[in-house]
Amino acid sequence: MKLKRILKGSRIAEIDSKAISGGIDSKLLMKNAGSGISKEIISDFENKKFKGAVRGLVVCGSGNNG
Q: What is the pLDDT of residues 15-47, one digit of tens each?
A: 999 999 999 999 999 899 889 988 988 887 887
pLDDT reading at 66 higher than 60: no
What is the spatial distance between Cα 45 and Cα 2, in angstroms, rounded to a whole number? 15
Mean pLDDT of 42-65: 76
More confident residue, 40 or 3: 40
Sign of the alpha-carbon torsion through 58, 62, 63, 64: negative
% of residues, the chain, pLDDT over 70? 83
Q: For residue 46, which phi and psi values (nearest 5 degrees)? A: -70, -30
Give how far Cα 44 sits from Cα of 8, 31, 33, 53, 63, Å: 23, 20, 17, 15, 24
Predicted pLDDT at 24: 95
